[in-house]
Amino acid sequence: MAHFSTRGGRSKPMGMLKLLNDSGKSSGVKVSEFTGRSTAEEVVKDWDGKGIVVIVTGPYVGLGKETTRVLALRGAEVVMAGRSKAKADVAMAEIRGGNPGAKLRFMELDLSSLASVKKFADDFRATGLAPNVLVNNAGMAGAPFALSADGHEMHFATNHLGHFLLTRLLLPDLEAAAKASGVQSRVVTVSSASHHTPYPGGFRLESGGASKKGYDAMKAYGSSKLANILFTRELECRLKDRKSAVTAVCCHPGVVQTDAFRHVNRRVVKVFFWVLRKTMAGYRTISQGAGSQVYLATAKEVEGGEYYVDCAIMPTSELALDRALAVKLWEASEEMCKGYLNKRGSEGE
Ligand SMILES: NC(=O)c1ccc[n+]([C@@H]2O[C@H](COP(=O)([O-])OP(=O)(O)OC[C@H]3O[C@@H](n4cnc5c(N)ncnc54)[C@H](OP(=O)(O)O)[C@@H]3O)[C@@H](O)[C@H]2O)c1
């Protein structure tokens, strides 16, 4: 069990600049007609979302909002899972401006709080909706050191742990929806090419990253995005073992100018994106960036456990292939979520 076997395989070690250039090319395993220039709307143009329920985390700005908009455009009912009803109301009004019949509903979710994740799962179940797709899109990047309500480093808590618990709690619902509809359910997690630049060895798991000493904001982000891939791969192995009707996949959206960069100096961001737009190295518009995640949410066939960029399977870092590290992360995450993982959230039932 040393390594996950994937069609993407492993990439050569790379620095940050090389990483941006690489993410701009479609040098992965081509599995679809779409490329990094395909917009999310183009990707879903032939998809019929009527009767499909999708949960999107971080749904009112950036990639999450575009994902919500185009899936609703094809008739899906989208549950917008986020922290701010006010922001969701603004986004809903905008989306309904172009699609008055859009089926949207807001439900409160703060991924940095395990209690909030559990409450969301309970509230969601009370709606009686059957979810076919969970898009784990929400994320934060490069923020100053902070601890979550549960005492974990904030990037790890928000980007990984909250989504780990959310997925685990919703798995029975995703499985039930797949059985009822005959459509395979999906867990789509938005990772990043930054998974190539985590803390040495991957994580600071012993403390849940809770120590300020040695904190590095971009490494903390990189580690949380590495966690997204390891979680996806380990989940997929466990789902396959029990012949589940749910598939787990992940992606990198390209480099997209969104609020994700709000913790970085504004001038630096401006210059950075100006250069990227000129060179087109890995640069994607919001609509192109959302293309990969809507592809994974809607394409008839996707390959479970794979990491996609520009709708193609891409290699990952060596650490993202390390099964032992994935199991260690899984067990540590379970321990951190102890008390919130009820029987319904345990796979193997
Ligand atoms: N943009 C890029 O270049 C890029 C590159 C690689 C990967 N990604 C990934 O793409 C995903 C979407 O990012 P984006 O670029 O669209 O960024 P964004 O515009 O900043 O959107 C992030 C979303 O996550 C939500 N969020 C943050 N913390 C949360 C929490 N504790 N609970 C619930 N929701 C929370 C935000 O809501 P609030 O307004 O409530 O904070 C917001 O809706 C992220 O996972 C990011 O890591 C982005």
Q: What percent of the chain has pLDDT over 90?
A: 75
Does ligand 1 lie within 6 Å of residue 190's CB atom?
yes
Which phi and psi (to 5°) does residue 54 adopt? -125, 135
| CA 149 to ligand 1 centroid distance, Å | 19
- Taking the CA of residue 267 as centre, how many other CA atoms within 13 Å lie in the half-sphere pointing to its CB? 0
Q: pLDDT by residue (tens digit) across 88-124? A: 999 999 999 999 999 999 999 999 999 999 999 999 9
In a domain, 343, yes or no: no
In a domain, 341, yes or no: no
- Find the CATH number of the domain harbouring 266: 3.40.50.720
Coil, helix or strand at residue 187 = strand
**pLDDT of res. 190:** 98
Q: Which domain holds residue 119?
A: 16-333
Please report which helix (H) or strand (E) contains residue 106, including its range.
strand 103-108
| CA 59 to ligand 1 centroid distance, Å | 9
**pLDDT of res. 105:** 98
Query: Which residue's CA is minimally distant from atom 27 of ligand 1?
Result: 139
Between CA 75 and CA 5 the distance in angstroms is 36
In a domain, 346, yes or no: no
Ranking 28-32, 35-39, 40-44, 283-287 by mean pLDDT, the lowest is 28-32
In a domain, 266, yes or no: yes
Catalytic residues: 215
What mean pLDDT comes out for the span 189-217? Answer: 89
Q: What percent of the chain has pLDDT over 70?
A: 89
Q: pLDDT by residue (tens digit) across 45-74? A: 999 999 999 999 999 999 999 999 999 999
Between CA 164 and CA 157 the distance in angstroms is 9
> Pick the residue with more confidence: 209 or 95?
95
In a domain, 345, yes or no: no
In a domain, 2, yes or no: no
Sign of the alpha-carbon dihedral angle for 289, 291, 293, 296:
negative
Burial class (CB in 10 A: 0-12, 13-18, 19+), 50: exposed
| CA 58 to ligand 1 centroid distance, Å | 6
Does ligand 1 lie within 6 Å of residue 38's CB atom?
no
How many domains are contained in the chain?
A: 1
Does position 349 have pLDDT exceeding 60, yes or no? no
Does ligand 1 lie within 6 Å of residue 232's CB atom?
no
Whole-Å CA distances, 160 to 139, 140, 224, 278: 9, 11, 6, 33
Q: Which of 22, 137, 250 to mutate to test the pocket of ligand 1 (most atoms within 8 A of CB)?
A: 137
In a domain, 175, yes or no: yes
Does position 13 have pLDDT exceeding 90, yes or no? no
Query: Which residue's CA is minimally distant from atom 43 of ligand 1?
Result: 58
Q: How confident is the model at residue 278 (pLDDT cuts 50, 70, 90)?
A: low
| CA 64 to ligand 1 centroid distance, Å | 7
In a domain, 75, yes or no: yes
Name, in order, each residue with C-beta under 8 angstroms of 270's C-beta and a sequence gap of 6 or more.
Answer: none
